Amino acid sequence: MEMGTMSDTNQMPHEEGIDHTLSLMREGYMYILNRRHSFSSEIFETRLLGKKAICMGGRAAAEAFYDTEKFKRKDAAPNRVVQTLFGKNGVQALDGQEHKHRKEMFMSIMSPEGLQSLKDITNKQWKLALSKWQQMDEVVLYDEVKEILCRTACQWAGVPLEEDDVKKVTKDLAAMFESPAAVGPNHWSGRHARNSVEKWMGELVDKVRNGEINPPEDTALHRFSWYRDLEGNLLDTETASVEVINILRPIVAIAIFINFTALALHHYPEERKKLKTPDEKYAQMFVQEVRRFYPFFPFVAALVKKDFTWNNYKFEEGTLTLLDLYGTNHDPEIWENPDIFNPERFTDWEGSLFSFIPQGGGDYFMGHRCAGEWVTVEVMKVSLDHFVNQMEYEIPDQDLSFSMVSVPSIPHSKVVLTHVKQIKK
């Protein structure tokens, strides 16, 4: 570790004022990037939620952020986010060996066979939905895709879902990610939804354990119900329930990227021709560019684990530190013309753990990088194939703009389709 004394450290660029939580809420996805530009610095200090905070972005900052000697996750997320988005005692807030062991549980369902089965289920659900959409005058894509994905997620995870419950479960899972930054009624509907789904899932975990139901072995419900922690104990019911929900909820959230996929096809019609070729690689590049280009997860938060010096800047134990995901994906040091949508940029792209980070950076097993990144890419590719090859549709006049402030950002009209026709092959 680099060590520094007071004399050889620099003063971090510093945003004056008592508190900037409001600016963060007003500027949303651009908050960190705007200040990185005006300070000409990858890093700056500010005050958020009444406390000193450090914000940073770019490849080197991401590398430092994912160094587990430097940062920890315990107590890093604000309570309101835990009560809606994450749930208590989930993998997001674990550190060290405990985190690694729990993360292995998640990654164990991400095998090639697991992903193939997910693709098959997603395809089947898309086909069922298309035959229904053909009968509809108007399809609100975002709402309909959430339902496709709720059915897909439950089936893949081994979670029995009654037809009568599909709408409610979809709505509850979505409320958890649609409200993380909300205050007032939306926050409460997120909390209420979490309580209700956690209770349902807890009952299912108990039923697995007492033999009343027996989901296939390679599913999340089975694996997580029988997973043993480092001491050899089963997870308590609430934690097991939180972790199964950590699979279901974000799969439904892929609906946001799928909305942006449809939007990209609409705004860049020349892309559709390139996607019509049987070249699988272009679909992959297109999906990567959708994940890079559009706003989704703005930043991730951690706390300084113990005092250290990085690039001559002093970090003090306990300081809240935000890594800018959106800004790193739009960093001109990394991306040529970052604000242009161009899948070709991924042609010879070899990948990097720290520069392309829509779902977090670093390593899956050692760090907190999103466990569901492969799931996301595969589900997006199946959906893209449907838009391009399996259906015809029209996009009538509507408000397709999206906010750069509200989190998560979703096109205002939620993308309405008309004249949907399934192409039978």
Where is the binding site for heme, in residues? 370
Quote the DSSP letter at residue 407. Answer: S
- 43 pairs with which residues across the strands? 56
What gap in Å lies between CA 97 and CA 90, rounded to an integer? 14
> How many C-beta neighbours within 10 Å does residue 342 have?
17
Chosen residue from 261, 329, 376, 422 binding ligand HEM by CB under 6 A: 376
Nearer Cβ to ligand HEM (71/335): 71
Name which position in 254, 287, 320, 420 contacts ligand HEM (CB under 6 A): 254
CB of residue 369 to ligand HEM, shortest distance in Å: 6
By CB under 6 A, residue 258 contacts ligand HEM: no
| By the rule CB under 6 A, 368 interacts with ligand HEM | yes
State the binding string over 184-223 for ligand HEM (x if CB under 6 A, else -). Answer: ----------------------------------------
- Which residues 6+ apart lie within 8 Å of 290 measured at CB? 257, 260, 261, 264, 380
Q: How many residues bind ligand HEM (CB under 6 A)?
A: 25
Let me know: does 37 contact 334? Beta carbons within 8 Å: no
Q: How far apart are CA 223 and CA 42, in angstroms?
A: 41
How far apart are CB 289 and ligand HEM at their closest, in Å?
Answer: 15
Distance CA 141, CA 144 (A): 5
CB of 367 to ligand HEM, least distance (A): 7
Nearer to ligand HEM, 190 or 422 (CB): 190
Structure tokens at 252: 């439904």
Taking CB under 6 A as the criterion, the residue among 370, 388, 391, 416 binding ligand HEM is: 370
Cβ contacts of residue 189 below 8 Å, gap of 6+?
A: 175, 179
Contact set for ligand HEM, span 56-95 (CB under 6 A): 91-92
> What is the strand order of the sheet 320-324 is part of?
43-48, 51-56, 320-324, 299-304, 71-72
Q: Choose between 330 and 368: whose C-beta lies nearer to ligand HEM.
A: 368
Helices 112-133, 373-385: inter-axial angle, 10-degree rounding: 40
Residues 325-364: x where in contact with ligand HEM by CB under 6 A, - otherwise, as a string: x--------------------------------xxx----
Position 106 contacts ligand HEM (CB under 6 A): yes
In 294-341, which ranges are continuous DSSP H helix? 325-328
Nearer to ligand HEM, 48 or 375 (CB): 375
Q: Report if residue 261 touches ligand HEM, rule: CB under 6 A.
A: no
State which residue has the least CB distance to ligand HEM: 372
User: Which residue in the set 208, 240, 251, 263 belongs to the binding site for ligand HEM (CB under 6 A)?
Assistant: 251
Q: Would you call 417 helix, strand, or coil by DSSP?
A: strand
CA 354 to chain centre: 16
Distance between CA atoms of 383 and 127, rounded to whole angstroms? 10
Residues forming contacts to ligand HEM in the complex (CB under 6 A) are 91-92, 103, 106, 246-247, 250-251, 253-254, 257, 296-297, 300, 325, 358-360, 368-372, 375-376
